[in-house]
Structure 1
């Protein structure tokens, strides 16, 4: 089974995403900010990451840059999740190493489509 780290400061988003990803047979871990997520990745690198753009302590973009520079950090499929329909911010995330992106709020179908591709890889 593949592993996924959900990184979001909203416990509701983490709970909803966890249910959907566990239905896709992912082993799920959670982090509520980028620093906690990076600490978890240093212990064990997940196969996939659902990453919120806007968080306290360390933003999604800051985490993504740190992750991709870390040994083994090129491995995870990272889906960057944002509420802003800002093409520039999305482009920066993709340039920093995001594998894909999606807008909030998301539903089961959207989230599944983003992570079924990661599972096939």
Structure 2
């Protein structure tokens, strides 16, 4: 199953990470899970995933810094879906300015996420 599309998930909530990993692997994706932005950048550079899912608020390196690094340092056009708690419009706009592809408000629906991923990876 080497043809499985790789997704890096950067999420510091381990319960949410487990749920999303289970749900997305059931759909046939290979998930590489990072507990923080620093680990996410290492996984992105090592595995060159087809898609990146990132929370905004994380320890060490924020989701915004992940987007900036992917777009400006690595010069990758990899789709990036950002998660954030509701009511953070300024941060969401900043994420899009940096190059985020899509945004979802937490708590998020795993089924909706699957649909968005399928659309982005067509």
Normalized against structure 2, the TM-score is what? Answer: 0.90
Q: Does 1:12 align with 2:29?
A: no
Number of positions where the alignment pairs a residue of Structure 1 with one of Structure 2: 119
Question: Which residue in 1 is equivalent to 2:55?
Answer: 52
User: What are the ranges of 5 or more consecutive residues in structure 2 without an aligned counterpart?
Assistant: none
Aligned match for 1:93, one of 92, 95, 100: 95
Q: Distance in 2 between matches of 1:20 and 1:13?
A: 11
Off by >6 Å, runs of 4+ in structure 1 = none
Give the CA deviation at 1:52.
0.4
Which whole-Å deviations, capped at 9, do the CAs of 1:3-45 have from their partners, x for residues lacking one?
1011011111110111121122111101011111111111121
Counterpart secondary structure, 2:121: helix
* Residues 24-103 of structure 1 mapped to structure 2, 5 A cutoff: 24-74=27-77, 76-103=78-105
User: What are the ranges of 5 or more consecutive residues in structure 1 without an aligned counterpart?
Assistant: none
Counterpart secondary structure, 1:116: helix
Question: Which residue in 1 is equivalent to 2:112?
Answer: 110
Q: CA RMSD in A?
A: 1.3
Whether the 8 Å contact between 1:45 and 1:72 is mirrored in structure 2 is no
Give the CA deviation at 1:109.
2.1
